Structure 1
Amino acid sequence: MHRQGIIELLRRTFDGAAWHGPSVMDTLRKVTTDQLGQRDVDSHSLIEMVEHMTAWRRFAVEKLRGNTTYDVDATANYPKVDPTKKVGSSPSTV
């Protein structure tokens, strides 16, 4: 796949007509702020998963821009997010 094709696939997966079903943003638009910090035992909260996906999306964008030294460090991979911290009023602000 060529670079432009990869860029388009990433865009659609995030906020478009994704090949796999609803895009990330289509799904997040249905989430309430109360749901963002909820977690089961030994799992990540939704907000932590969103931060994780964001870190790796940035990674892909940087690599596509030619930044060969960019990497995702351990703290950005699955950052700890305080569930009591106030978040935006909608997932689009996350």
Structure 2
Amino acid sequence: MNKEAINKLLSTLEDSFQGLPWFGESLMDKLSRIDYRIVNIAHIPTTNSIARLVHHIINWRIFVIEKIKGNDAFDIEMNSQNDWTDLHISTEKDWADLIQKLVNTQKEIFDLLNAKTDEFLQTPVYGREYTIQRLIEGIVQHDIYHQGQIAVVAKQAALKG
């Protein structure tokens, strides 16, 4: 049972999420330092708030989870409510709950992939032109991309506040 490629992907996913990634700060390190009172602020009308960015990250991680489970029917329409969910964080608990949802997606992706072998990574994603491996690599890139946006919005919100 070969799991070398899966283990490598899991290591990369873990590093960027809450480890020591090559680019500096992990997603969870960044989010842990953000005060819930600024997560609804969007610097300009076309900028997403931190809360909306985090929920967007969660939405696409749910897409990954469903595809790993083999759910061919699950999809997210780009620029829909399922892609960019409107929400408002009112309390520190609301923020903690959103972060916990993100953590739960990490755990579920790990658990699902740990049960697979490297051969599974070559499974095509139904309705897409890529494999599960490319999907997992893509979610790491997606998280990093939006982490950069979160950093910019947090800095702008702190200057505003």
- TM-score norm. by structure 1 comes to 0.75
**Residues 87 and 76 of structure 1, relative CA distance in 2, 3 Å threshold:** farther
Q: Partners of 1:54 and 1:68 in 2: how far apart?
A: 19
2:38 to 22, 35, 38: 35
Q: Which amino acid aligns with 1:43?
A: T
- Is 1:11 matched up with 2:14? yes
How far residue 90 of structure 1 moved from its aligned partner, in angstroms, is 8.0
Identical positions, percent:
22
Q: Partners of 1:68 and 1:5 in 2: how far apart?
A: 26
- Is 1:68 matched up with 2:47? no
Q: Partners of 2:24 and 2:95 in 1: how far apart?
A: 19
How far residue 72 of structure 1 moved from its aligned partner, in angstroms, is 2.5
**Residues 81 and 75 of structure 1, relative CA distance in 2, 3 Å threshold:** same
1:78 to 51, 67, 84: 84
The answer to which structure has the higher helix fraction is: 2
Question: What RMSD in Å do the two structures reach over aligned CA positions?
Answer: 2.4
Q: Partners of 2:41 and 2:27 in 1: how far apart?
A: 18
Instruction: Indicate the SS of the match to 2:43.
Output: coil
In structure 2, the gaps of 5 or more residues are 99-161
Q: Partners of 1:24 and 1:11 in 2: how far apart?
A: 10
Please say which structure displays the higher CA radius of gyration.
2
